[in-house]
Amino acid sequence: MLRHLFKLIWNKKGTHSLLIIEVWAAFMVLFGVLTLIVFNLRNYLQPIGFQYDQVWNLELSSNQDTTEVAAKLQRAMQRVKSYSEVVAASRMSSNTPFSANQIGNSVGYNKVNVGGDFYYTDGELFKVLDLPLKKGRWYREADLAGKFVPLVINQKMEDKLFLNESGLNKVVKIDDKTSGKIVGIVDKFKAKGVYMSDNPALFYMFRKDDRWNSNILIKTRPGTDANFEARLVKDIAMMLPGWGVEVGYLKDSRKNRDNLTLVPVLIFLIVSGFLLTNVALGLFGVLNLNIAKRKGEIGLRRAMGATESGVTSQFLGEIWVLATFSLVVGLIFAVQFPLMNVFDLDREIYIIAILAAVAIIYIIVTLCAWFPSKQAAAIHPAVALHEE
């Protein structure tokens, strides 16, 4: 039976080669879109690692003011903490959670270097974001008196940097002049949004005289409204004349980041939907035309005792063989992605996307072939032979 199907396909190789290319293109597009969907869905199902609902981001910019910047930032910080609506406050670098800013660097240990996101903060960040610690503790002011810079890393950084060892209390090299000691390890810190992966992260404690990290994250009490925001901005602006003062909400920033992630996915889904629809219509039309041209063959097979299910199986078998040819070619391309670790994604993501794309292609070709096959099987042999 299989040999007969190959012979039938080879006899019309010109028409069938176009179908093979069409199905192959549909598979490759599906593979790309499903990889993106699986990647985002997998990240979405993982916890983000911190709390942000009641957290505000107070952005301060000194503009042209260059005098006593560090002292002014400290006074602003003290003023923020004095409000009864504020539960906790922390200064940090411009790459606050869900912001578009990014600060990256590498850290080394025993000839292993790992790149990651660096967050420069004070010792209060864990209170503002409710960051749970898996090991050790969060750094504090007294740690700055030591020989090494106090650091906190996330679990992803520990896994990549120390492999099977514990990173707690290890000394790592940040650059030629700076070394740091890891005093604590948090679990996850997905600062780029719920649909993004948990990248290696390192929290670096800066000194009080630091003048660069001018963002203040504020954890407010439930029910704090825009009236407090207006009062906060007014008071800080009076304290820091000529400075830029702006307040943002982390929950709004998270929505914006999520939208930036979802828009490309929706665009790819629409494009792939149009492509799959065209492929399905093309297959349906070609099969209808082929059946119309093969009524004599169908009538002869029925007259010789072929059942309706046998005729249906023949046409389904032909389209499955064509689809298999296309998928074999597509798999040659697709398997290169997990083998060569393209885009640094987990192999499981590519494997799931490949299996899902194969299943969808077989479902589409089966649905497209089912109705024409049933029509062919219903042809009465006498009618088909009479027309011929």
Note the pTM of the prediction, 2 decimals: 0.84
Q: What angle do CA 99, 102, 105 make, to 5 degrees?
A: 155
On whether both 206 and 327 belong to a single domain, the answer is no
Within-domain flag for 114: yes
DSSP string, 174-226: -SSS-EEEEEEEES---TT-TTS----EEEEEPPTT--S--EEEEEEPTT--H
Looking at the structure, do residues 88 and 212 belong to the same domain, yes or no? yes
Tell me: do 192 and 266 sit in the same domain: no
Domain match, 265 and 180 both? no
Q: Same domain, yes or no, for 187 and 281? A: no
Domain identity same for 273 and 222: no
Do residues 205 and 262 share a domain?
Answer: no
Q: Tell me: the pLDDT tens digits for 39-97?
A: 999 999 999 999 999 999 999 999 888 889 999 999 999 999 999 999 999 999 999 99
Q: How far is CA 206 from the centre of its chain?
A: 31
Q: Are residues 209 and 331 in the same domain?
A: no
Q: Is residue 345 in a domain?
A: yes
Query: Does residue 135 sit in the same domain as residue 164?
Result: yes
Q: What is the distance between the alpha carbons of residues 215 and 110, in angstroms, rounded to a whole number?
A: 34
Confidence of residue 5 (pLDDT cuts 50, 70, 90): very low
Is residue 238 very low, low, confident or very high in pLDDT (cuts 50, 70, 90)? very high
Place of tokens 């190959």: 6
For residues 219 and 112, state if they share a domain: yes
Q: Is residue 58 part of a domain?
A: no
Which of 242, 273, 302 represents a domain boundary (last residue)? 242
Residue 205 lies in a domain: yes
Same-domain check for residues 352 and 381:
yes
Q: What is the pLDDT of residues 144-173, one digit of tens each?
A: 998 999 999 999 999 999 988 999 999 999
Say if CB 90 and CB 216 are below 8 A apart.
Answer: yes
pLDDT at 74: 93
Q: Which domain holds residue 223?
A: 63-242
One domain, residues 135 and 179: yes
pLDDT digits (tens, 9 = 90+) for 340-366: 888 888 899 999 999 999 999 999 888
Residue 174 CA: distances (Å) to CA of 113, 162, 295, 329, 388 = 10, 15, 76, 46, 83
- Higher confidence at residue 4 or residue 75? 75
Per the CB < 8 A criterion, the answer to whether 157 and 200 are in contact is yes
Give 134-150 pLDDT, tens digit per residue.
999 999 999 999 899 99
Query: Considering only 18-22, 175-179, 240-244, 339-343, which range has the smallest mean pLDDT?
Result: 18-22
Domain boundary among 242, 275, 309: 242
What six digits make up the tokens of 61?
């910019």
Residue 51 covered by a domain? no
Among 106, 112, 111, residue whose Cα is nearest residue 161: 112
Q: Is residue 106 situated within a structural domain?
A: yes
Q: What is the pLDDT of residues 243-300, one digit of tens each?
A: 999 999 999 999 999 999 899 889 988 988 888 888 888 777 777 777 666 655 665 5
Q: What is the mean pLDDT of residues 359-386?
A: 72
Please report whether residue 262 resides in a domain: yes
Instruction: With respect to residue 230, please indicate whether it lies within any of the assigned structural domains.
Output: yes
**275 in helix, strand or coil?**
helix
* pLDDT at 309 (0 to 100): 64
**Overall domain count for the chain:** 2
Residue that terminates a domain, selected from 242, 269, 284: 242
* pLDDT for res 302: 56
